[in-house]
Amino acid sequence: MPLRHRMPYRYSQAGFTLIELLVAITVLGLLMALLFANIQTATKSWLSTKARFSDADDIRHIQTFLRMQLSQAYPKFISGDATTSHIDFDGQEEALVFLAPMPEASGGAGLAYIKIAAQRDAENLKLIMTIRPELAWDEISSSAPIILASGLKSIRFSFYGGTAQQAPEWTGQWAGKPELPKLVRLSLQFDEEAKTSWPDFVAAPKIAVDAGCVYDPLTNFCQGR
């Protein structure tokens, strides 16, 4: 029998040419670049949102603290003659000084003068707070300034109250008065770059009478200690 001639098998091997490989790498690179850009954008958006929430939380905590302190403002009566007797409370458009319980973070014992005021430097307007124990000698004994808010455009305190002869109204000053204001309002306006806001803030002092006063039935106010 004749031997069958065996033909060698041909194996067809599929593969990529160099051009196809370069095209695939280029497309993959473009897709990775787009994906990275989307991730970067999403990350920036998340960080921005987180920062806004953080700022909002900070503002809410600051307002809660200020509202608590102002609600406990103590109406210490400073005696003098008929024209100078007044409550120890000094409210101006950009500064407020009042007597209140010492914050717990500062020791929480006795009363303290709390000053909330505007502070300007070359490029920034800040809202700061200093705390001085009531029995301290002078301003030197005040705490280091605590920054409550920065990047501000304007700071404005206003006070609501009246007298027996005058109907209650909002005013930009409350000093040398025989009683505390009924309401205290603090309005802050941030720079546009700050991208944050200060919700309406109003606090109501709740203590009406100095425990150490001598009551005068003719004026319905204290005569002093």
The pLDDT tens digits of the residues spanning 50-90 come to 444 445 678 888 899 999 999 999 998 887 665 667 889 99
Is-contact 165 180, C-beta < 8 A? no
Can you read off the two tokens belonging to residue 192?
């546009």
**Over 25-75, what HEC string results?**
HHHHHHHHHHHHHHHHHHHHHHHHHHHHHHHHHHHHHHHHHHHHHHHCCCC
pLDDT at residue 215 in the model: 54
The pLDDT tens digits of the residues spanning 122-143 come to 778 999 999 888 876 666 667 7
Domain ranges of the chain: 60-222
Q: What average pLDDT does range 185-203 have in this prediction?
A: 86
Nearest-angstrom CA–CA distance, 91 and 117: 10
Banded model confidence at residue 197, pLDDT cuts 50, 70, 90: confident
Q: What average pLDDT does range 167-179 have in this prediction?
A: 92
